Amino acid sequence: MPKVKVPKAVLDGLEAVRRSGLTNMLDRPVVAQLAEEFGFEEAARWIKTHRREFAAGIFHGFAAREEKK
């Protein structure tokens, strides 16, 4: 399965939480809370509203979506 494509701001938030080591990335509510605390509001909103994509990304990886210009 391919990596889950997300906006760069979401990927940045996910990476910040992962690198912090403060929670297991499978704990979606805590990941969202930490993203918000770290100032990644867009990532926190995405995590809360994209449960299925979040789960798939945890197991298959995330990649930044191409930004339209």
In Å, how far are 26, 36, 42 from 48, measured between CA atoms?
A: 13, 11, 10
Domain boundaries defined on the chain: 4-64
Is residue 1 within 8 Å of 60, Cβ to Cβ?
yes
Measured CA to CA, the distance from residue 35 to residue 14 in angstroms comes to: 7
Measured CA to CA, the distance from residue 30 to residue 8 in angstroms comes to: 20
The pLDDT of residue 69 is 65
Over the stretch 19-68, which tens digit does the pLDDT of each residue have?
999 999 999 999 999 999 999 999 999 999 999 999 999 999 999 998 77
Share of the chain above pLDDT 90, in %: 93
